[in-house]
Amino acid sequence: MAEVLLFHHAYGLTSGVRAFAARLEGAGHTVHLPDLYEGRVFDTLEAGIANAKEIGFGTVLERGRLAAEGLTAELVYAGFSLGVMSAQMLAQTRPGARGALLFDACLPADEFGDGWPAGVPAQVHGMDADPFFADEGDLDAARALVAATPEVELFLYPGRQHIFADDSLPGYDKEATALLTERVLTFLGKVG
């Protein structure tokens, strides 16, 4: 079974992120859920992003890096939206990564060094018409990553929702989340 370090999105560590982690744990995986916001949870994406800006994105990344300390090097790094920054940074810079799961976001591979590390598989999941994912460069970054890295897969779901796999948020999409979860569990079964 895999050991996963899962980072929350800009809303904070919501009950929906906890529920997603519980589904992975129910399949036998170990999931670590650091709280990058130190207990704060927001009702809107805008408020959560404002909080991240106030804290500083560098501080959020550093909190993500610190969350990995003391854990095995052989982790799968996962993140929702804002949490993708920490997940992708660790997958690309911390030796021993077993894989990465990037939900609703993807940064260019050169953001954290010389590109994606050889032999580290990953999945990128997003909605094809999500204005944050499709229109702000994340989808382009994901496609470039897939083109350059045979171990990386991109899964697109029909819709405009951002953070669609958190059942505590208004953008939750039950059908897309079921398919995403199935794909994630298959991935974790292979790398675990």
The domain spanning residue 35 has which CATH number?
A: 3.40.50.1820
SS3 (DSSP) at 174: helix
Beta strands, E only, the chain: 3-7, 30-32, 76-80, 99-103, 122-127, 152-157
What's the whole-model pTM score?
0.97
Interatomic CA distance for residues 98 and 2, integer angstroms? 8
In the numeric block, which tokens belong to residue 151? 């171990």
- Averaged in consecutive runs of 10 residues, what is the pLDDT profile of the chain (192 residues)? 97 98 98 96 95 95 96 97 97 97 97 92 98 96 96 97 97 97 98 90
CA Rg value for the chain? 15
pLDDT of residue 180: 98
Burial class (CB in 10 A: 0-12, 13-18, 19+), 163: buried
d(CA 178, CA 50): 30
For 76, phi and psi rounded to 5 degrees? -100, 125
Q: What domain range includes position 60?
A: 3-191
Domain count, the chain: 1
Query: Quick one: pLDDT at residue 192?
Result: 84
CB neighbours of residue 13 within 10 Å:
22
Please give the Cα distance from 88 to 99 (Å, whole number).
10
